[in-house]
Structure 1
Amino acid sequence: METAAKTLRFRRSAAITVAAAVGFLGALPMLGGGPWYALILLVPLAIALWSWRSGTDVTPDGLVVRAALGSRRVPWSEVVELAPAPKGGVAVRLASGAVLTLPAVPTSALPAIASVGGELTRA
């Protein structure tokens, strides 16, 4: 019997999306000032999209880093090091020398991430 592949999902707090919705509703009365005020509504919409979409998925195959408008797959073979990021969270150093900060991942999740990416710990 096969076991399901272990996947860790890290996302932003839903409270950010709720706050963006409240901001959107609070900005609606500004539409009475003219059509240009409609541009103000784009700010809470952008924040809601970012908070709902951004995050990190950790699978046995690698990492999927999600941003508001795109995503990037990073196989474990490209990962050289997992480390705490200077400003909090977790950073990944790639074989190319680039450093990638994993969105929505707390430092306390570092051991769990390393256990999912088993080949990283064997190297």
Structure 2
Amino acid sequence: MTRFRLPAAVSVAAAVAFIGGLPIAAEGGPYPLVLLVPLMVGMWAWRAGTDADADGLHVRALLGSRDITWPQIDELRAEGPRRVVAALLDGTVVPLTAVRPTDLPRLAATANHS
């Protein structure tokens, strides 16, 4: 199995932002809501990613996940300098969380071992 995850720096940045927001949240009123943003970013960084194995892809985001088998995929392609998508045979395009264009050879090697 090949795993693609977000850089640890995202989690660290979320933790720093959460700690930095504590004095603002301590003011009361609506200000504790400020902590929701770094909390959600931290949860996303912890959960999000793409796993590839002989069966296909398992793509996870903050609130959901999706399993895609290799026969469903028409092509894997880079869209811009930092994003990879799976174009499915039904016309759907699925962003592959944490997969970079430089990761395409590793992803293709996993697909070829199926």
> Structure 1-normalised TM-score?
0.85
Look up the equivalent residue of 2:25 and give its one-letter code.
Answer: L
1:57-116 CA distance string (max 9 Å, x none): 011100011001111000111001111123533211101011112111111111221121
RMSD between aligned alpha carbons? 1.6
Which structure has the bigger radius of gyration? 1
Instruction: State the distance in 1 between where 2:106 and 2:37 align.
Output: 35
The answer for the alignment partner of 2:83 in structure 1 is 89
The answer for the alignment partner of 1:16 in structure 2 is 10
The answer for the alignment partner of 1:76 in structure 2 is 70
State the 4+ residue runs in structure 1 displaced beyond 2 angstroms: 86-89
Whether 1:115 and 2:112 are equivalent positions in the alignment is no
> Structure 2-normalised TM-score?
0.91
1:28-58 CA distance string (max 9 Å, x none): 1113322321111101000101111111101
Give 5+ residue unaligned stretches, structure 2: none
> Is the alpha carbon distance of 1:36 and 1:93 closer, same or farther for their aligned partners in structure 2, counting shifts above 3 Å?
same
- Aligned-pair identity in percent equals 45
The answer for the alignment partner of 1:4 in structure 2 is none
> Is the alpha carbon distance of 1:108 and 1:30 closer, same or farther for their aligned partners in structure 2, counting shifts above 3 Å?
same
